[in-house]
Amino acid sequence: MSEPEGLEFLPEADTDIKLLFVLLHGVGGTPQHLVPLAEALRAAFPAAAILVPAGFEPYDSAPSGRQWFSARGIDEDNRPARVAQAMPALVEYVRAAQARFGLLQSDTALAGFSQGAIMALEAVQAHDGLAGRVLAFSGRYARLPKVAPHYTTIHLLHGADDAVMNVSYAQTAQAWLDSLHGDCTIDVASKVGHELHPALVQRAIERLQTCVPLRSWEAALGLNQTPPSGETLH
């Protein structure tokens, strides 16, 4: 069976590429599942290159689909090791894309859904500054970090009624990062489950367009305090 191909959404040929988005699907998913997110980002950021790779492993619980790491028999103890094993290939992919388009790490955003969100969050923990932004939809950390990334702004987006990845994971992560003086926002959509809901996609775009990174905010104002964090969507 041939390897599934990823998707690419590139600007018009005469447009200088200024941003890079790498979108990571959930376990058992495919790049096609993230097309609505890719199209929304493309409309909002016409000078961005948007890459949607297929998970680097075949899904081991169904005849089709891809995964970043196996979820069979997964628990709190073995999850970090599985993520760590999968990480080098993803980091290599992101760095190759940055080199391809001549973009800096600060010009890069990682966006993931569910298992893809885990990979995005852990990528900037393993390599601080790999991306300037992370959009984590319906995700969690493999393990809460000991330190917050200094060069990455993290946006947590979750459904209040998520029965697969409970919203408490996002709420705990936001509070934990805040305690570490990390740069993080959280948005929770009421009556939304484990899905890439349009309300969360729109909120993610608003965050990208309006949220000044904490490191820039503090440098400009000369203050050692944090601006207001996230809010709840209704």
Which domains, from first to last, does the chain contain? 7-233 (3.40.50.1820)
Retrieve residue 176's tokens: 């934990």
CB atoms within 10 A of CB 55: 26
Could you tell me the pTM of the whole model? Answer: 0.90
DSSP state of 129: T
What integer pLDDT is reported at residue 215 of this predicted model? 59
**Phi and psi dihedrals of 31, rounded to 5?**
-55, -30
Q: Residues 121, 170: contact at Cβ < 8 Å? A: no
Mean pLDDT of the 61-90 span: 96
Return the active site residues: 114, 162, 194
113-169 pLDDT, tens per residue? 999 999 999 999 999 999 999 999 999 999 999 999 999 999 999 999 999 999 999
Q: Residues 19, 132: contact at Cβ < 8 Å? A: no
Contacts of residue 146, Cβ cutoff 8 Å, sequence gap at least 6 = none
For residue 228, what pLDDT band results from cuts at 50, 70 and 90?
Answer: very low
Q: Please report, for the chain, how many H helices and E strands are present, in that order.
A: 6, 10
